[in-house]
């Protein structure tokens, strides 16, 4: 069965610092992996997705993630945090293009001035 | 293009009642998925409809049901509401179905008293 573990329910970084949000997955087949962002009182917005092409995936708003099969990880990074990055971030996995998405428990990102 | 719209945005119901939520996908999208988001359980997949057929289903009781119309608009119904059904209900649409490029609506906040 597929699953996702996000390490750290809350991450706080200073403005301009590196953002690193951790995600590990479990899947019996090559997975599709996603990062979504949710701002308060809004739905989810897709940041980026991995679908077995390049292992380094670039997304919107300067975010990127690297698929590491040996570590079963798909960590999200951004070189320099902005105040506008404060939100909830969800890592998700799916085992096929027509499968349901399994979401992680989410990581709330706070940015300190 | 207009985004995914969900109505109503907020709803208060009493235990034992039933409720119907509506989702209008992005024009041209044939797949609609529904998710329940709660602080305790996080984001959980309810079901997916593609071209008026239920294609995937999550692990929810039969009180939760849905349907999709020929114009791709979808409704979900919850009968015999319980306090634990209080949640943010999100729908997402995509043109091909499955997890590719799912676009989420703002959600319907259901409160059961």
Report the chain B residue with the minimal C-alpha distance to residue A106: B42
* Residue range A46-58: mean pLDDT, rounded: 88
Tens-digit pLDDT profile for residues B2-61: 799 999 999 999 999 999 999 999 999 999 999 999 988 999 999 999 999 998 899 999
Tokens 């984001």 correspond to B43
The pLDDT value given to residue A15: 97
Q: How many CB atoms lie within 10 A of CB B40?
A: 6
Query: Are residues A103 and B101, on separate chains, in Cβ contact within 8 Å?
Result: no
**Given A97, A103, A106, which is nearest B98 (Cβ)?**
A97
- Is the pLDDT assigned to residue B91 strictly greater than 90? yes
Predicted confidence (pLDDT) at residue B99 exceeds the cutoff of 80: no
Which residues in chain A have their CB less than 8 angstroms from residue B56's CB?
98-100
Say if residue B87's pLDDT is above 80: yes
- Cβ atoms of residues A109 and A13 within 8 Å: yes
For residues B89 and B105, what is the distance between their CA atoms, to the nearest angstrom?
Answer: 9
Contact criterion met (CB below 8 Å) for A92 and A33: yes
Mutate to test the interface with A, among B10, B31, B99 (most CBs of A within 10 A): B99
Task: Specify the pLDDT at position B2.
Answer: 79
CA–CA dist A8, A108 (Å, integer): 8
A14 beta partners:
A112
Per-residue pLDDT, averaged over A5-27, amounts to 96
The Cα B22–Cα A107 span in angstroms is 29
pLDDT given at position A20: 98
* Interchain CB contact of B56 with A (< 8 Å): yes
- Rounded average pLDDT over A31-43: 90
Any idea of the CA torsion for B94, B99, B105, B108, to the nearest 10 degrees? 130
Question: Are B33 and A100 a contacting pair at CB < 8 A?
Answer: yes
Asked if A15 and A83 count as a contact pair (C-beta separation under 8 A), the reply is yes
Alpha-carbon distance A2 to A23, whole Å? 13
Averaged pLDDT, A87-105: 84
Kindly tell me if the per-residue pLDDT of A52 is higher than 80. no
* Chain A interface includes B60 (CB < 8 A): no
Residue A55 CB-half CA count within 13 A: 9
Give the three-state DSSP class for B18: coil
Q: How many CB atoms lie within 10 A of CB B67?
A: 15
């Amino acid at each position: 069965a597929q699953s996702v573990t996000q390490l750290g329910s809350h991450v706080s970084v200073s403005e301009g610092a590196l953002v690193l949000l951790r995600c590990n997955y479990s899947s019996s087949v090559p997975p599709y992996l996603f990062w979504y962002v949710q701002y308060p009182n809004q739905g989810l917005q897709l940041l980026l997705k991995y679908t077995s092409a390049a292992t380094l995936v670039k997304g919107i708003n300067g975010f990127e993630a690297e698929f590491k099969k040996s570590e079963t990880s798909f960590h999200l990074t951004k070189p320099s945090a902005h105040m506008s990055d404060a939100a909830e971030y969800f890592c998700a996995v799916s085992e096929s293009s027509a499968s349901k998405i399994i979401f992680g428990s989410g990581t709330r990102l706070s940015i300190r001035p | 293009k207009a985004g995914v719209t969900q109505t109503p945005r907020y709803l208060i119901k009493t235990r034992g009642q039933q409720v119907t939520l509506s989702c209008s996908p992005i024009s041209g999208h044939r797949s609609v998925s529904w998710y329940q988001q709660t602080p305790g359980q996080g984001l959980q997949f309810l079901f997916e409809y593609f071209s008026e057929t239920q294609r995937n289903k999550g692990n929810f009781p039969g009180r939760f049901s849905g349907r999709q119309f020929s114009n791709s608009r979808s409704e979900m119904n919850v009968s015999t509401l319980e306090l634990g059904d209080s949640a943010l209900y999100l729908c997402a649409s995509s043109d091909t179905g499955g997890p590719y490029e799912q676009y989420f609506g703002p959600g319907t906040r259901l409160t059961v008293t």
